[in-house]
A and B are shown apart, each in its own frame.
Chain A
Amino acid sequence: MGTLDSHYDVAIIGAGPNGLTAACYLSRAGAKVLLVDRHHECGGGLITEEWSGFRFNTHAKLMMMMDVMPPYDDLELESWGCKYIRPDVAAAIVTRDGRAMCFYADIERTAKSIARFNAEDAEAYVEVMTDWYTIVNEAIIPATYSLPLPLLDMAVSYEQSEVGSVVNEMAEESFVETLDAAGFESELLKTAILYLGTMYGMDPEGGLGFLLPLFYNRLLHSAVVRNGSHQLAASLARFANRNGTTIERAAEIQAILTDGPKAVGIRFADGREVRADTVISTADPQMTFLDLVGEEACNQASSHLVAQTRSWEWESTSLCNVHYALSERPRLSAAGYDPDADRALVKIMGVETVDGLLAHIEATKAGRFDTKVGAAPVDIEPQTAVACWESLAPFDLSDGSWDARREALAGEILDTWTEYAPNLADATVIRHYVNDPTYIAAKLPNMVRGSIKHGAYVPTQMLSNRPNADCSAYRTPIENLYVAGASVWPGGMVLLGGGYNVAGVVADDLGLDRWWTEPEFVTEARKKGLVG
């Protein structure tokens, strides 16, 4: 333990992507910031591990917003050692008979690959995607880096523009309905779009249909961080550090100290106490309010905070990742059909129809883990031969436990991989690592039940309802306490939105200089009434 001062302007709980981002902006604005994390290393889910010289991103892999997130430029992250790489082939869906449909950020290029399967869909794709890209670029990305409009205001305000009214319509639809409305015929195309939309646990039959274009579009724009996801955290930590943030690692927080309805500091598990004018928690709402603040203090501030928090809904599915260090890179047989398949950042395997995908998701919710369906986010580092597998997984298995199943899984999934990349049959597996839902939950305690986004994306927990109507503008009913983790708008997935947005709110409340300028896309969206 290092030596801490007795008082800070801002104490931030959790040095994940959002905590780090908030620390960067606020310390650069002149605040004296203390950033605390229970792990020895910063980054939360931004984990890069190394086994036998092979690097693996064992949790966060694909960065959906790297090319648009304001912190990347505001904080000059490249100069602090974070550089993202966007491969030109974003995704491929690979069939059992050795073909592949490939997907690119570029609409026309994707249409060409679709045309090999269905010429009419290729034409329709250009039209539909022009609309989808517009709503993502003009409404949803700007909303990610600004305060959410209260839901009622949003409904009214969004009707003022064409883009907004499309989002309003979609908000009522399920992913499946939004996809149906696009009118594609090719099962493979529809499956790929829905797979990309749901691979991080979105419910295909719940509402929030506008998230389908968002996830689809942003996964086609997704990047990986050179030298590993952790480099994003490391670059943020360096920026924060050089701007005076004190980072206290390997330190568990026991309580957020309150004085009446006000937060006044934090207490560590080892008994040390630090005072702070402002406390920002990036933990999930149950940990923040029930464990750290405590029910009594919550009740003093709000009559319904405790009840609201108790009803927080975790995700119904989690993820299972399997990582292999290999003597050679996997080579898809589908690369014979389309060489781009081998270079795709995400390779979808084991599912070729929408019904098949829906059945897979239903089975997962029912506790079954299917080793035949998954996606392989490729490692595009040039130095090493690794393979990865990522698929939806239940936290509770209906038959047996993850502990009992873990070891055998590596072999079963390698068999699936080998069906698509036969050269793996002769490769030596130098290491494998299975990061199942119970491991995720154990390593990252805010990912309760393997909830990778700190809580489900359902209408009652999104937009200005995330985590609840009283806290979604990052302020909470407890004075001086703010929330900013994945359980707050715009959610998880390493968008850095929560940290970015809370920094603006806290800077305003503390009268600090907002040294950064609002991105143009937000200003434009504001003119149209699309952001708060």
Chain B
Amino acid sequence: MSGPDETYDVIVVGGGINGLTAATYLQKSGLKVACFERKLEAGAGCCTEEVMHPGVKVNLCASNLVTLWSPVYGDLELEKFGLEMLTSGEWGMFHPFRDRSAVMFNSWDARKQYEHFASINEHDAEIFKASYNVLAPMMDSILHSSQFLQMTQGPEEVTQEGGMGNMLRMIIPEIPENVHELNAIEVAEAVYQDDKIRTAILTNCIMSGTHPWDGGMSALLPIVFPILQCTQSVTWTSRGGSHAVTHALCSCFAAHGGKLFTGCPVDRIVMEDGAAKGVVLSPYATFPEAEIRASRAVISNLSAHPTFLDLVGEDSLPDWVAEGVHAYKNDETVLFQNYWVLDRPPHWEGYPEEIDRGYGFNFGIESLDDIRRLRECLETNTLPDPPIVAGLSVQGFALADPTQAPAGQYTMMSWANVPWELPEHGGPEKWDVIREDYGDKVDTLLREYNPGLMDSVIDRYCTSPLDYYRKNPSQVCGSTTSGPTGLRWFGTHRPFPNCGAPRSPFENLYLSNSIWPYGTSTLGSGYIAATIVAEDLGVKAGQDWWCHQAMEAGREVMRARGIEIGTPIP
């Protein structure tokens, strides 16, 4: 018989990349694990689909893969299971301005970054150099502890702490003494002289999911971000598209004997005496209404809303849990995607020639005023018009990996930052009605920067936040980060205070999504869930393959290209 067995040690609900990561670690640690995925293909946001021209691979959600940061890459031998990471050029991110200038971020070489800043503003270049030389040697361990260890701090702790700010002020006197009371915009204004440099850096903060108008942890990002760029090498796709990460995880899971069941929506988590004991599949599942038991743990890779309200059931939640879940709602920025097919390689007429092979960019943010305009739009639930495209645009997919488009064709995408609600149009369901018009506005905006690029467009596909939600109901309000990302939900407060995530308020029930760190392709939340579950179940000891550190893989891949990242700037 080929359907699910009656009982597994661990059941994972949802075959997104974090669920697959948790499932694979636990299976590899000797447990018997099954993963149930609603869709016909696993991977959720890490998907690549042919939704437009034949042969054009569309990375509908995850677009910039930071999987090389992850200890998972080495622990699960993702390379052996077919994952090949590719990038288009050393200038990973760039920020074009209407006057044909651009601020660029080098992904490999800090010295070139320093020289580039110096060509714009010498003072700002010195800020970069001083902070880089101090922070670069620490970046891997900062990354490891912030992305791959269970968070022990909440929003209060990080806002009260002077910490790194005090340390940096010793070398950068421009950092104000009250840095912990400031937000990122104020810090950028105090530290950098050049408005374009400030604007480009703060836009990158928005892109990485933080809010420059929040204080606390993100206040220092204007200093940290350019360093992160060139020490961690952030701009990658994988051969075949983002879905290749999913394929590698699925292959690894299967190779260790894990069972993935696709087309199997889970309707309910079986709760007995306050403990998770299994799952019941939907009547539409490949194995309709099957009840499968989990003797040791159920891990939900769905976000907090469907996990608690639908699968556990709102009626069985203590009040404080119900309140926490309801408060965990994306009232901030979500993303609107334009995906284009081009009939020639991207070219930026009049701009620095390096950016023709750049991987990603943002546009429509000319100054800090545009950042303030975005904040206002989000606070008032108004659609930015003209759009603000600070969510990442990518032109490097087919430049890095020709398999993502037919010969002679290239793909490009952009993510405009938008609110979910559309009160002025009559609610979020109106995204279907205004989608193509808003896509046109993004086209028009990009045309102001690069008319030639838009002339090379032969097809377009837009995805609204409503499309994201319908495609994956775990993306509540169209969230691409499994929930809100503001300071309020930092660390231990994600998805809500006292949850203990990845542990949940219920025995045997764990979360591998909607926990810190929020959804990216670092596989961090899956890794952390695996760590905590393995410790709780006593299977972590003796797994000597479970040993890699953050960025180990990234460094090895760069070394294979003859590049040593993170070396000091003389």
Contacts and interface: CB of A to CB of B under 8 A. Distances in A.
A309 interface: no
A307 interface: no
Interface string A38-76: 001100000011111110000000000000000000001
B470 interface: yes
A40 B40 contact: no
B81 interface: yes
A231 interface: yes
Contact of B1 (A79, A227, A231): A79
B55 A442 contact: yes
A239 B286 contact: no
B496 to A, nearest CB: 27
Nearest to B285: A227
B284 A383 contact: yes
Given A2-B81, A227-B40, A443 B263 contact: no
Interface residue tally on A, bucketed by range: 35 or more
Interface centre among B80, B261, B432 (most CB of A within 10 A): B432
Contact of B432 (A381, A382, A428, A439): A428
A467 B92 CA distance: 52
Contact of A234 (B240, B262, B406, B469): B262
Contacts of A327: 432
Contacts of B472: 53
Contacts of A443: 50, 54-55
Nearest to B469: A53
A40 B251 contact: no
Given A40-B240, A227-B40, A231-B263, A49 B49 contact: yes
B2 A79 contact: yes
Interface string A225-249: 0111011001000110110000001
Contacts of A439: 53-54
B433 A428 contact: yes
B2 A231 contact: no
Given A49-B51, A80-B2, A81-B286, A41 B432 contact: no
Nearest to A233: B40
B441 interface: no
Contact of A48 (B40, B286, B432): B40
A54 B39 CA distance: 11
Given A40-B243, A250-B240, A428-B433, A230 B2 contact: no
Q: Is the interface of B mostly helix, strand, loop or mixed?
A: loop
A44 to B, nearest CB: 14
7 contacts: A52-B471, A81-B287, A234-B262, A439-B53, A439-B54, A442-B55, A443-B55
B472 to A, nearest CB: 8
Interface in A201-244: 226-228, 230-231, 234, 238-239, 241-242
A53 B284 contact: no
Contacts of B408: none
A29 to B, nearest CB: 18
A234 B247 CA distance: 14
Contact of A227 (B81, B84, B251, B286): B286
Contacts of B251: 2
A40 B247 contact: yes
Given A2-B81, A52-B471, A53-B471, A40 B48 contact: yes
Contacts of B263: 81, 227, 231, 234
A430 interface: yes
Interface of B: 1-3, 39-41, 48-51, 53-55, 80-82, 84, 240, 243, 247, 251, 254, 261-263, 284, 286-287, 403, 406, 432-433, 463, 466-467, 469-473
A3 interface: yes
A3 B80 contact: yes
Interface of A: 1-3, 40-41, 48-54, 76, 79-81, 83, 226-228, 230-231, 234, 238-239, 241-242, 249-250, 327, 381-383, 428, 430, 433, 439, 442-443
A2 B255 CA distance: 12
A433 B51 contact: yes
B284 A230 contact: no
A228 B284 CA distance: 12
Contacts of B254: 241
A256 B432 CA distance: 49
A446 B54 CA distance: 14
Contact of A53 (B3, B40, B470): B470
Nearest to A438: B54
Given A81-B263, A81-B286, A443-B54, 10 more contacts: A1-B84, A2-B82, A51-B467, A52-B463, A54-B470, A231-B40, A239-B2, A327-B432, A430-B432, A443-B55
Contacts of B243: 40
B47 to A, nearest CB: 9
Considering the complex of A and B, which 9 residue pairs feature the smallest CB-CB distances, nearest first?
Answer: A53-B470, A442-B54, A81-B286, A52-B467, A443-B54, A79-B2, A227-B263, A53-B471, A52-B470
A76 B2 CA distance: 9
Contacts of B466: 52
A443 B57 CA distance: 12
B39 A50 contact: yes
Contacts of A83: 286
Contacts of B2: 76, 79-81, 238-239, 242
Nearest to B463: A52
Contacts of B469: 53
Contacts of B40: 48, 50, 227-228, 230-231, 234
Given A79-B1, A81-B287, A383-B284, A49 B50 contact: yes
A180 B3 CA distance: 50
Nearest to A403: B458
A474 to B, nearest CB: 28
Contacts of B55: 442-443
B287 to A, nearest CB: 7
Interface centre among A41, A50, A226 (most CB of B within 10 A): A50
Contacts of B247: 40, 249
Nearest to A40: B240
A437 B471 CA distance: 27
A79 B1 CA distance: 7
A359 B54 CA distance: 31
Contacts of B49: 49-50
Contact of B3 (A2, A52, A79, A433): A79
A514 to B, nearest CB: 22
A382 B40 CA distance: 16
B201 to A, nearest CB: 35
A40 B247 CA distance: 9
B459 to A, nearest CB: 9
A381 B50 CA distance: 22
Contacts of A51: 51, 467, 471
Contacts of B80: 3
B284 A227 contact: yes
Given A48-B40, A50-B39, A52-B471, A231 B54 contact: no
A371 B533 CA distance: 58
B284 to A, nearest CB: 7
Contacts of A50: 39-40, 49, 471
Contacts of B473: 53
A327 B427 CA distance: 15
A241 B251 CA distance: 11
A234 B37 CA distance: 14
Nearest to B255: A2
Nearest to A242: B2
B266 to A, nearest CB: 15
Contacts of A2: 81-82, 251
Interface centre among A48, A81, A428 (most CB of B within 10 A): A81
Contacts of A48: 40
A314 B478 CA distance: 46
Interface centre among A53, A228, A234, A443 (most CB of B within 10 A): A53
Nearest to A252: B403
B373 to A, nearest CB: 29
A23 to B, nearest CB: 16
A433 B284 CA distance: 25
